[in-house]
Amino acid sequence: MTETVREGFANRLQLAIDEAGYGNSQLKELAALFGVSASAVRKWLSGDAFPTQVRAVKLANLLGVRRAWLLDNELPMRPNPVDIADKGKAYSSTQESLSISGEEFRMLATYRRLPKSLQKALLKLMQDIHKEQK
């Protein structure tokens, strides 16, 4: 059985929500995040409706995915080119941007929700761990 366009959108939206770390959120929490009603979110997730083009751009940005992937299943899923200031040996000299995985996106989204003091502590911990690995 082939998936309908709306079912495909609903599946991609659910995947993006899960990978962004919002998978356990209630409809009203997602509605607040997206700036719409819980009914609209329910309709999107059930494949009964599509967001407007303007809303689709906002959804994609909030979830860290490309709008073209979310609406049309056009790969890649994530644009997120990362500007790398450090040109160490871990990066190839021809690499201009770096794509991040769903796991990296969730980690970054979680990090950004932490208070600044915890962000600093976590960064120091990660740097200390990295030093120990060398």
pTM exceeds cut of 0.95: no
CATH architecture for segment(s) 5-72: Orthogonal Bundle (1.10)
Give the range with max mean pLDDT: 2-6, 19-23, 80-84, 125-129: 125-129
Q: What is the pLDDT of residue 22?
A: 86
Q: Which amino acid is at 77?
A: M
| Backbone phi and psi for residue 89, each to the nearest 5 degrees, phi listed first | -65, -15
Over 60: is that where the pLDDT of 86 sits?
no
User: What Cα–Cα distance (Å) separates residue 4 from each residue in 15, 57, 73, 113?
Assistant: 16, 21, 12, 35
Residue pLDDT, tens place only, 61-71: 999 899 999 99
Backbone angles phi, psi at 98, to 5 degrees: -130, 125
- Element at 43 (helix H, strand E): helix 38-46
Is 93 a residue whose pLDDT tops 50? no
Could you report the per-residue pLDDT of 16-68, keeping only the tens digit for each? Answer: 998 888 888 899 999 999 999 999 999 999 999 999 999 999 999 999 899 99
Q: What is the DSSP letter of 4?
A: P
Mean pLDDT, all residues of the chain: 83
Whether the per-residue pLDDT at 90 is higher than 50: the answer is no
Task: Report whether 43 contacts 52 (CB < 8 A).
Answer: no
**Phi, psi of 20, rounded to the nearest 5 degrees:** -85, 0
Which pLDDT does position 89 carry in this prediction?
46
The residues, any chain, with a CB within 8 Å of residue 7's CB and separated by 6 or more, are 47
